[in-house]
Amino acid sequence: MRFVSTRGQASAASLGTALFDGLAPDGGLYVPDSIEPWPADEIASLTSRSLPELGLRVLKPFAAGAIDAATLSAVVYESLDFPIPLIEVEPGIFALELFHGPTLAFKDVGARVMARLMAALGADVTVLTATSGDTGSAVANAFHGIASARVVILYPEGRVSPTQEAQLTMFNEDAASNVRAYAVAGSFDDCQKLVKDAFADTSLRRQIPLTSANSINVGRLLPQMIYYFQAVAELRRQSGTTKSPIVCTPSGNFGNLTAGLFAKRAGAPIERFVAATNANDVVPSYLTTGQFRPRASIRTIANAMDVGNPSNFERLIWLYKGRLEGAQHDMEGCHYADDDVRATIRQVHERTGYILDPHSAIGYLGITSQVDRARRAGRPGIFLATAHPAKFPEVVEPVIGRAIERPRALALALEQPRKILRIDATLAAVRGAVGA
């Protein structure tokens, strides 16, 4: 398997090169040069495979020639050591709960697999990544203690939840830790630009081998394909249906949705996607108008999706060769205001007892409110529940009128001393943080 750049001006790369370089030399994002559909008999027998077995099957073609079968198996089984259940919230509407990993967010899947792949490949590297909330804590947890990696995380000061900041900074107090998180005076888009500027700085990269661990890196994206196959397998196990579901992915930087589109190309029987955002609706607007207009991000209560210039739009354009009608065939877009999100959290809880976090509430809204009714036609709907509601008590608890029980992993993080490290939103400050 080779990986090519979305901009087409760089040589094809191996999995190892794509993982450790992060960005292609021409500034593009790495994508697999081909995605082979699974044979029909394998799709028909999805229910016979466990989550790690599905994960191994998903990743096997992309790791071919780079990692031996035994090592890949060890990576997958060690990484996917938590459940990904499918919960029927109401008749025909299911939540794929992606928040049962160590940091209680969907990004645990990609981050844990990626960290272990990099450890297996063995090169020393500095991981530089930007986060709008959950990526950073997942990356910190996944790479903590991996001797071959040093991790530097940039997050927008004052724009992540207190719980997210606790998870981000819990390793800062330990002088021997290989993980550092820095609060940047700016927005997530500023953090993301700093990461891109650092990767474009050839003198910096000559001094320090850099890679990224957010969805800029294809190594984070490929493992996220796994849970789309898991969603279909669980749906068939529970309901016996063979109808292809419609899936709503709450979206910010659009790596999660891109992974779903990769999974569909690989044969995952998904009828259509709904790209649901908060007020940062540049991709839903593109799907309606054909115009992509990045802008400064807008702050919302679904802060992990506060992205005004999503990096993975470049991969979406590549997937459809720039053709709007191709993208419109596979997905539709929608966006929701904070008041819609709060109302949905309250109404779903009152009606069903199910508790949504703000991001998952946007997924629920997308699958129930905006889906093309002709396309739905009795098909089951799945939305991705991307974070545990206990990560956002300041939003959720006032809405539902009661406290949310904290999972043990979260309680432990909140008990840790919190040491905030601050830097300016400048490349010079980032160079200092990575040790150049």
pLDDT over 80 (residue 426): yes
pLDDT at site 374: 62
Cβ atoms of 85 and 97 closer than 8 Å: yes
Cβ atoms of 62 and 1 closer than 8 Å: yes
The helix or strand, by DSSP H or E, that contains position 249, with its residue range, turns out to be strand 246-250
Q: How far apart are CA 38 and CA 45, in angstroms?
A: 11
Q: Which residues of 25-44 are buried (b: 16+ CB within 10 A; e: fewer)?
A: eeebbbbbeebeebeeeebe
Let me know if residue 114 belongs to a domain.
no
Cβ atoms of 258 and 220 closer than 8 Å: no
Let me know if residue 371 belongs to a domain.
yes
In this prediction, residue 244 has a pLDDT band, given cuts at 50, 70 and 90, of very high
Let me know if residue 236 belongs to a domain.
yes
**Partners of 383 in beta bridges:** 95, 248
Q: What CATH number is attached to the domain comprising 224?
A: 3.40.50.1100
Let me know if residue 364 belongs to a domain.
yes
Residue 17 DSSP SS3: helix
Q: Answer with the residue of higher pLDDT: 130 or 43.
A: 43
Counting the structural domains of the chain, the total is: 1
Which phi and psi angles does 86 have, rounded to 5°?
A: -110, 120
Let me know if residue 325 belongs to a domain.
yes
Q: How far apart are CA 2 and CA 44, in angstroms?
A: 28
DSSP label of 328: H
3-state helix, strand, coil in the chain (%, to 5): 45, 15, 35
Structure tokens belonging to residue 225: 């394909």
Helix axes 107-121, 51-63, angle to 10 degrees: 50
Segment 95-101 shows an average pLDDT of: 97
Q: What is the pLDDT of residues 62-90, one digit of tens each?
A: 999 999 999 999 999 999 999 999 999 99
Of 202-206, 214-218, 322-326, which one has max mean pLDDT? 322-326
Structure tokens belonging to residue 146: 């991996």
Structure tokens belonging to residue 270: 């998904």
Structure tokens belonging to residue 287: 């799907």
Let me know if residue 271 belongs to a domain.
yes
Q: How many residues does the chain have?
A: 436
Query: Strands 421-423, 381-385: parallel, antiparallel or unpaired by DSSP?
Result: unpaired
Range of the domain at 270: 83-105+220-406
Q: What is the pLDDT of residues 106-160, one digit of tens each?
A: 999 999 999 999 999 877 889 999 887 778 889 999 999 888 899 999 999 998 8
Residue 149 DSSP SS3: strand
Residue 186 DSSP SS3: coil
Nearest CA to 249 out of 214, 224, 269 is that of: 224
CA 235 to chain centre: 22
Nearest CA to 252 out of 222, 227, 283, 223 is that of: 283
In this prediction, residue 173 has a pLDDT band, given cuts at 50, 70 and 90, of confident
pLDDT over 90 (residue 425): yes
Cβ atoms of 276 and 237 closer than 8 Å: no
Calculate the alpha carbon distances from 121 to 20, 153, 333 in Å.
Answer: 10, 22, 38
pLDDT over 70 (residue 436): no
Q: How far apart are CA 385 and CA 98, in angstroms?
A: 6
Let me know if residue 299 belongs to a domain.
yes
Rounded mean pLDDT of the chain? 93
Q: How far apart are CA 172 and CA 186, in angstroms?
A: 20
Helix axes 358-369, 338-352, angle to 10 degrees: 80
CA 406 to chain centre: 22
Q: How far apart are CA 69 and CA 65, in angstroms?
A: 10
Cβ atoms of 140 and 153 closer than 8 Å: yes
pLDDT over 70 (residue 380): yes
Residue with tokens 């999706």: 305
The helix or strand, by DSSP H or E, that contains position 129, with its residue range, turns out to be strand 125-130
pLDDT at site 221: 94
Let me know if residue 66 belongs to a domain.
no
CA atoms within 13 A on the CB side of 146: 28
Segment 9-29 shows an average pLDDT of: 93
Segment 253-282 shows an average pLDDT of: 97
Nearest CA to 232 out of 4, 98, 67, 44 is that of: 44
**Partners of 95 in beta bridges:** 87, 383
CA 118 to chain centre: 18
Cβ atoms of 309 and 283 closer than 8 Å: no
Percentage of residues of the chain with pLDDT beyond 70: 99
Q: How far apart are CA 174 and CA 242, in angstroms?
A: 51
Residue 49 DSSP SS3: coil
In this prediction, residue 299 has a pLDDT band, given cuts at 50, 70 and 90, of very high
